[in-house]
Amino acid sequence: MLRAIPPVTSPKSGRYWDYIPLTMDFLPIYLNVRGQPCLVVGGGEVAARKVDLLRKAQAEVRVLAPDLGPTLSKRVREHDIAHIARCFEDKDVEGASVVIAATNDEAINRLVASAAKARRIPVNVVDQPELCSFIMPSLIDRSPVLIAVSSGGASPVLARLLRTRLETLIPASYGRLATLMAGFREQVKRRFSGSSERRAFWEKVLQGSIAEMVFSGRDRAARVAMEEALRSKEGSGIGEVYLVGGGPGDPDLLTFRALRLMQQADVVVYDRLVSPEVLDLVRRDAQRIYAGKESKNHTLPQEGINELLVRLAREGKRVVRLKGGDPFIFGRGGEEIATLAEQGIPFQVVPGITAAGGCASYAGIPLTHRGYAQSVIFVAGQLRDGSVNLNWKAIAQPQQTIVFYMGLQGVDIICRELQHHGLASSMPVALIQQGTTRSQRVLTGTLATLPDLVRTSHVQSPTLIIVGNVVRLQSQFAWFDPDSVSQAAGVAPNAPASPA
Ligand code: SAH
């Protein structure tokens, strides 16, 4: 039942902070229904969803309805539930531990509710809170961890939205973590006699690298680390390095795992390519170390970065090595973890959306498309000793999209070589500067016009070059235009590429 909204101020003192409600509308409990007879009245899809939950909780389910829908029929065929094929009668509720009314007939629902209430059997009537003696929450299921969210019937949509938020915060493998830790409870009790010592130990384990090992599927390593932590004097002292892909710029493109690790970091070592909005999501108190890396002007040489990561982890810190895009695509991520592996420092790699994927999506250029391109190749186009040394024959293939990273300086050579190896001078190309961000610029041209386009339009790093027939689709598919007031899908912000 909904309560009247309380006045903002206390009627007695006139102060509003006195008016914190001291009562709850419901008592939240988790009911053990394993093997208990439970009755569901109704045979449709709504009933099927309730049956699903009851079966997950291992209840013995009887469904009462003249006819069953496809989902429940299947369960009956599989001998998973029992079916009573007739209309509801008062005495049907007898012996049930829990009753749920899920018919689309309000009168029947009412009969079920009053029959159950008369016998003090807990009853839930779907979508009719006033008939319920209990309500069912929105659920985040990380069994054995269960998180229930309820607005007490005030706003089920709000409860569902909250649930969605929590879903994103709580790793899917939380259940596995709980199960693993259950196996250590006795050992931890023996190891730490004081309850505050014990709590401190658990907090460290559950928020630290051991938990992260479970989340990334390394259960065996977690078990070993746990045993080690129990043996060592001050509990778990191991640091860990997380090589995290920060994506191309838009913070919305981070993975859940990247965000979680960023919010737990003690130190973050980041590159020039990491956007300020992404960096902003790192835990406020984390130390921030800029590792630079402009192609000419290396702030820290690569070896320096590798050693820095080792040193920080040895100090027991949780280090996030945050890189633009994906760490394993032109990110030198491999070199950084090679040093960690040599030195026996635990690490994990979190993929990010690479510039090619991010820029192509936000520019409206499918990297492959039937009839346009069957393959796509990612190429590092930077100059080395004044030239771009690549296997041009393999790159300049028909029906292949070519994505050049770091290609601005070598643009003259790139265009010349591609034409020399058989691509038409009219082959469409796109330049995408600061893709996926509010400053994104997309320019299109052809292999013949690209070098001039780069000079006259003053494009700057980071810019991605896409070469291929798929660029023709851009004028039709461009949807992201940060400057446009009406961001209508399919309205092209840029001039279409000239047809071949
Ligand atoms: N590891 C990164 C790439 C690093 S190489 C990744 O997976 O994306 C650096 C090059 O990536 C830049 O020179 C540029 O060509 C490209 N790049 C990275 N972010 C970009 C962005 N937001 N827009 C356009 N190009 C980008």
Which CATH number goes with the domain that contains 473? 3.30.950.10
What angle is formed at CA 186 by the lines to CA 185 and CA 189, rounded to 5 degrees?
85
Assess if residue 148 is contained within a domain.
no
Assess if residue 112 is contained within a domain.
yes
**Domain match, 262 and 322 both:** yes
Ligand 1 lined by 435 (C-beta under 6 Å): yes
Per-residue pLDDT in tens (0 to 9) along the chain, 500 residues: 445 555 555 555 666 555 556 788 889 999 999 999 999 999 999 999 999 999 999 999 999 999 999 999 999 999 999 999 999 999 999 999 999 999 999 999 999 999 999 999 999 999 888 999 999 998 999 999 999 999 887 888 898 899 988 888 888 899 999 999 999 999 999 998 888 888 888 988 898 889 999 999 999 999 999 998 898 865 556 688 999 999 999 999 999 999 999 998 999 999 999 999 999 999 989 999 999 755 455 567 888 999 999 999 999 899 999 999 999 999 999 999 999 999 999 899 999 999 999 999 999 999 999 999 999 999 999 988 888 889 999 999 999 999 999 999 999 999 999 999 999 999 999 999 999 999 999 999 999 999 999 999 999 999 999 999 999 999 999 999 887 654 444 334 444 443 33
Assess if residue 369 is contained within a domain.
yes
Using CA atoms, how far apart are residues 279 and 268, in angstroms rounded to an integer?
9
**Domain match, 456 and 479 both:** yes
Ligand 1 lined by 444 (C-beta under 6 Å): no
**Domain match, 202 and 323 both:** no
Q: Which ligand 1 atom sits closest to the C-alpha of 404?
A: 15
Ligand 1 lined by 275 (C-beta under 6 Å): no
**Domain match, 361 and 481 both:** yes
Ligand 1 lined by 331 (C-beta under 6 Å): yes
Query: Which of 405, 432, 454 maximizes ligand 1 atoms within 8 Å of its Cβ, making it the mutation to test the pocket?
Result: 405
Sheet holding 123-125, edge to edge: 82-84, 60-64, 37-41, 98-101, 123-125
Ligand 1 lined by 235 (C-beta under 6 Å): no
Assess if residue 336 is contained within a domain.
yes
Q: Give pTM, 2 decimals.
A: 0.77
pLDDT given for residue 349 in this prediction? 96
**Domain match, 196 and 96 both:** no
- Ligand 1, atom 16, lies closest to the CA of 405
Contact (CB, 8 A) for 439 and 462: no
Ligand 1 lined by 54 (C-beta under 6 Å): no
**Domain match, 394 and 479 both:** yes
**Domain match, 408 and 465 both:** yes
Tell me how far the alpha carbon of residue 277 lies from the centroid of ligand 1, in angstroms: 16
Contact (CB, 8 A) for 26 and 135: yes
**Domain match, 347 and 365 both:** no
pLDDT given for residue 355 in this prediction? 98
Assess if residue 256 is contained within a domain.
yes
Q: Which ligand 1 atom sits closest to the C-alpha of 295?
A: 13
Contact (CB, 8 A) for 98 and 120: no
**Domain match, 301 and 374 both:** no
Assess if residue 143 is contained within a domain.
no
Tell me how far the alpha carbon of residue 479 lies from the centroid of ligand 1, in angstroms: 21
Ligand 1 lined by 405 (C-beta under 6 Å): yes
pLDDT given for residue 131 in this prediction? 95
**Domain match, 364 and 347 both:** no
Which CATH number goes with the domain that contains 228? 1.10.8
Contact (CB, 8 A) for 423 and 396: yes
Tell me how far the alpha carbon of residue 448 lies from the centroid of ligand 1, in angstroms: 24
**Residue type for position 184:** F
Tell me how far the alpha carbon of residue 354 lies from the centroid of ligand 1, in angstroms: 7
Query: Which of 273, 408, 432 maximizes ligand 1 atoms within 8 Å of its Cβ, making it the mutation to test the pocket?
Result: 273
Query: Which of 271, 361, 434, 464 maximizes ligand 1 atoms within 8 Å of its Cβ, making it the mutation to test the pocket?
Result: 464
Task: Retrieve residue 410's tokens.
Answer: 């070598």
Query: What's the structural domain count of the chain?
Result: 4
pLDDT given for residue 16 in this prediction? 55
Tell me how far the alpha carbon of residue 264 lies from the centroid of ligand 1, in angstroms: 26
Ligand 1 lined by 463 (C-beta under 6 Å): yes
Domain span holding position 315:
240-353
Contact (CB, 8 A) for 62 and 112: no
Q: Which of 82, 106, 136 is a domain's end point?
A: 136
56-to-61, 97, 150, 344, 447 alpha-carbon distances in Å: 11, 16, 20, 42, 60
Q: What is the CA radius of gyration of the chain?
A: 30
Which CATH number goes with the domain that contains 131? 3.40.50.720
Active site (catalytic) residues: 271, 293
Q: Which of 232, 262, 279 is a domain's end point?
A: 232
Tell me how far the alpha carbon of residue 476 lies from the centroid of ligand 1, in angstroms: 24
Ligand 1 lined by 278 (C-beta under 6 Å): no
The closest of 268, 274, 315, 308 to 288, measured between CA atoms, is 268
Using CA atoms, how far apart are residues 167 and 399, in angstroms rounded to an integer?
41
Ligand 1 lined by 443 (C-beta under 6 Å): no
Tell me how far the alpha carbon of residue 70 lies from the centroid of ligand 1, in angstroms: 50
- Ligand 1, atom 2, lies closest to the CA of 325
Tell me how far the alpha carbon of residue 361 lies from the centroid of ligand 1, in angstroms: 14
**Domain match, 184 and 287 both:** no
Q: Which of 110, 136, 162 is a domain's end point?
A: 136
Assess if residue 144 is contained within a domain.
no
Assess if residue 497 is contained within a domain.
no
**Domain match, 214 and 257 both:** no
Which CATH number goes with the domain that contains 244? 3.40.1010.10
Ligand 1 lined by 273 (C-beta under 6 Å): yes
pLDDT given for residue 15 in this prediction? 60
Using CA atoms, how far apart are residues 424 and 468, in angstroms rounded to an integer?
10
